[in-house]
Amino acid sequence: MEKHVTFAVVSIFWLLFAIIGFLVSYRFQERGIIRCCCILTAVCCYLAWLVTFLMQLNPLVGPKSDQKVILGMMTYWPNSFMHNEKDP
């Protein structure tokens, strides 16, 4: 899935969760508590997912390796661009 589709689907899911929780709360006597719990759950879960999604989308820190290690990986790995064979 593309990143925009994933973002839209998860955002719509948590928005619907909050709206349905808000509407279901009218059936119960403790409307305020149920409404607060449903909306707060949706907001917290969405924010936890959003932070994780954005951190993976554009990582601030990438893997760092020594130049000898990188040359060794390129030399010994069969799918490296240094080999003349085409990847399947």
User: Residue 68: inside a domain, yes or no?
Assistant: yes
Q: Is residue 85 part of a domain?
A: no
Q: Is residue 87 part of a domain?
A: no
56-74 pLDDT per residue, tens? 887 777 677 888 887 777 7
Element holding 55 (H helix, E strand): helix 31-57
Q: How many domains does the chain have?
A: 1
Is 82 inside any structural domain? Answer: no
- Centre a 10 Å sphere on the Cβ of residue 18 and count the other Cβ atoms it contains: 19
State if pTM tops 0.75.
no
Q: Are 3 and 50 in contact (CB under 8 A)?
A: no
Segment (H or E) for 44 = helix 31-57
Domain of residue 8 covers 3-76
Q: Are 9 and 56 in contact (CB under 8 A)?
A: no
pLDDT tens digits, 14-52: 999 999 999 999 999 999 999 999 999 999 999 999 999
Two tokens at 59? 């990582």
